[in-house]
């Protein structure tokens, strides 16, 4: 795992070099300098269902065209192979879960679920079998979650909640209760997200098409929490309790997003309700009030993703939904009209957003970086400029070397200064060398560094900033 992390770190540093330490950031998240991942980065489809970042820095992306793994530079795609039983059960990926034991669980929209080994990338499949009540309840997975005890649950379209039994490799099915308020043309309850109660390990909250469902283990007693609604204008009474996301506030109250009914805030007893909605001409219309996504930021801010108008901040104190307009966050201008489907706050503190066209990663840490472009000094270079080695020096500067740079660079973070140390002119004498690339560097004295390319050693004097040929070495060095 370590060599993956090191490779990713070098790849990121190749694009971004630290230019200074920022002071304490404001409570307001910055949206400047986002990392946008789309077809140009290798996505086979921009129909993205879910994404997560693991502890090695890999970004795993669920699309309708397979499972993508992005390391910051390269995209690898895992797909279903009908002649390989260790491949994914289907290409249409619907949800992801990184379990506490390191396994990656992948839910599909037609083939059940798979447990992926992140090292070998091989899969163990768990398919729906109609004649086996111990199998996953439906082939159409919607969500996955792990509770604090390490138990894993799955939600399926038109199927029961399933609890995975690790010792037996099968599932317990937790059926939904009968509900007299089932919406028209819906024969079964669909669930979209489940979270564990903050204070009680045996209580869970599930966002369903029929309200917020409270589940209590071990007997799985259930009760729907629904907001009373008599307003039939634009069918509001049919939309108010069609939940898509749910989270629990620090005080134990529940916040849920709905399909056309705005955002509902309720106490855990289901006695008091408050709606946050966008009102147009006195009406709460469906498309303006469909919120697909919800996440709580590291500072407690509640971000919600609207189906059509982009990203918004839920202000429970002022009692309003504040849409982020391009005038205050120009980087979000492209979200208007395409909407936000999913939001996550990563373990690294980044805001991960899935839109209809791409994935966007907003990181406060990225505000501490500045992109530096290296230009070959000798001849036009047609390959990729790659940073291979970084060597910190005592004064805080860093020596940077790599492929196609035609020299070694000394970078000073305090003032973003960049000084090139040119190779000896003699290396160009025979005309056969295209470029000067350095594979590694090592300190050999207080003011001396030894650098190596494919066949030769070079001595660098840090006082004079001069590079000279040291000696010839064998090609197997």
Residue 372's pLDDT is what? 55
**Can you give the pLDDT at residue 25?**
28
pLDDT of residue 171: 96
pLDDT tens series, the chain, 477 aa: 333 333 333 333 333 332 222 222 233 677 877 888 999 999 999 999 999 999 888 999 999 999 999 988 889 999 999 999 999 999 999 999 999 999 999 999 999 999 999 999 999 999 999 999 999 999 999 999 999 999 999 999 888 899 999 999 999 999 887 654 444 333 467 899 999 999 999 999 999 988 999 999 999 999 999 998 888 877 888 888 999 999 999 889 999 999 999 999 999 998 899 999 988 888 888 888 999 999 998 888 899 999 888 898 998 888 889 888 777 777 777 676 678 999 998 887 888 999 888 898 887 655 544 455 555 555 554 445 677 788 998 888 889 888 777 888 888 876 667 888 988 888 877 666 667 888 889 999 889 999 988 778 999 999 999 999 886 544 444
Predicted confidence at residue 364, as pLDDT, reads 67
User: What is the pLDDT, as a whole number, of residue 279?
Assistant: 86
**3 state DSSP class of 210:** coil
Please state the φ and ψ torsions of residue 206, each to the nearest 5 degrees.
-125, 130
pLDDT of the residue at 24:
26
Provide the pLDDT for residue 309: 83
Considering the segment(s) 372-472 as one domain, its CATH architecture is Beta Barrel (2.40)
- Classify each residue of 385-408 as buried b or exposed e, where b means 16 or more C-beta atoms within 10 Å of its C-beta: eebbbbbebeeebbbbbbbbbbbb
pTM reported for the whole predicted model: 0.72
Which among 61, 31, 36 has a CA at the least distance from the CA of 49? Answer: 61
Q: In angstroms, how far is CA 408 from the centroid of its own chain?
A: 35
pLDDT of residue 184: 35
∠ CA 42-17-463, rounded to 5° = 140
Euclidean distance between CA atoms 355 and 12, whole angstroms: 24
Q: Is the torsion defined by CA of 332, 334, 337, 343 positive or negative?
A: negative
Domain locations in the chain? Answer: 28-368, 372-472
**Contact (CB, 8 A) for 319 and 20:** no
CATH topology (fold) of 28-368: Methylamine Dehydrogenase; Chain H (2.130.10)
């Amino acid at each position: 795992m370590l060599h993956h992390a090191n490779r990713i770190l070098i790849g990121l540093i190749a694009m971004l070099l630290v230019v200074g330490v920022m002071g304490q950031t404001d409570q307001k998240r910055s949206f400047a300098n986002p990392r946008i991942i789309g077809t140009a980065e290798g996505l086979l489809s921009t129909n993205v269902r879910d994404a997560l970042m693991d502890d090695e820095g890999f970004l795993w992306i669920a699309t309708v065209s397979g499972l993508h793994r992005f390391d910051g530079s390269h995209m690898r795609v895992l797909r279903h192979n009908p002649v390989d039983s260790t491949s994914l059960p289907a290409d249409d990926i619907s949800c992801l879960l990184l379990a506490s034991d390191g396994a990656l669980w992948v839910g599909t929209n037609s083939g059940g679920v798979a447990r992926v080994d992140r090292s070998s990338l091989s899969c163990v499949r768990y398919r729906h079998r109609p004649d086996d009540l111990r199998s996953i309840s439906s082939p159409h997975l919607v969500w996955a979650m792990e509770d604090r005890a390490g138990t894993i649950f799955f939600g399926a379209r038109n199927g029961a909640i399933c609890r995975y039994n690790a010792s037996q490799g099968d599932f317990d099915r937790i059926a939904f209760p009968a509900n007299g308020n089932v919406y028209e043309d819906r024969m079964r309850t669909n669930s979209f997200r489940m979270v564990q109660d903050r204070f009680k390990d045996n209580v869970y909250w599930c966002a369903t098409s029929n309200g917020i469902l409270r589940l209590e283990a071990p007997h799985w007693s259930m009760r729907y929490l629904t907001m009373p609604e008599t307003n039939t204008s634009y069918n509001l009474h049919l939309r108010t309790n069609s939940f898509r996301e749910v989270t629990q506030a620090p005080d134990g109250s529940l916040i849920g997003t709905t399909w056309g009914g705005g955002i509902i805030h309720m106490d855990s007893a289901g006695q008091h309700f408050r709606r946050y909605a966008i009102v147009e001409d006195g009406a709460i219309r469906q498309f303006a009030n469909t919120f697909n996504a919800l996440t709580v930021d590291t500072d407690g801010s509640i971000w919600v993703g609207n189906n059509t108008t982009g990203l918004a901040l839920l202000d429970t104190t002022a009692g309003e939904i504040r849409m982020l307009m391009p005038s205050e966050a120009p980087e979000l201008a492209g979200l208007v009209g395409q909407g936000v489907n999913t939001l996550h706050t990563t373990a690294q503190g980044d805001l991960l957003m899935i839109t209809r066209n791409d994935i966007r990663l907003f990181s406060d840490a990225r505000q501490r970086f500045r992109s530096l472009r290296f230009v070959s000094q000798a001849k036009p270079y047609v390959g990729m400029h790659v940073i291979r080695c970084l060597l910190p020096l005592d004064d805080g500067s860093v020596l940077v070397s790599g492929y196609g740079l035609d020299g070694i660079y000394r970078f000073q973070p305090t003032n973003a200064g960049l000084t090139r140390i040119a190779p000896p002119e003699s290396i160009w004498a025979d005309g056969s060398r295209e470029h000067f690339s350095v594979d590694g560097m090592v300190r050999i004295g207080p003011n001396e560094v030894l650098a190596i390319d494919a066949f030769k050693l070079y001595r660098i004097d840090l006082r004079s900033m001069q590079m000279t040929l040291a000696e010839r070495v064998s090609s197997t060095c």
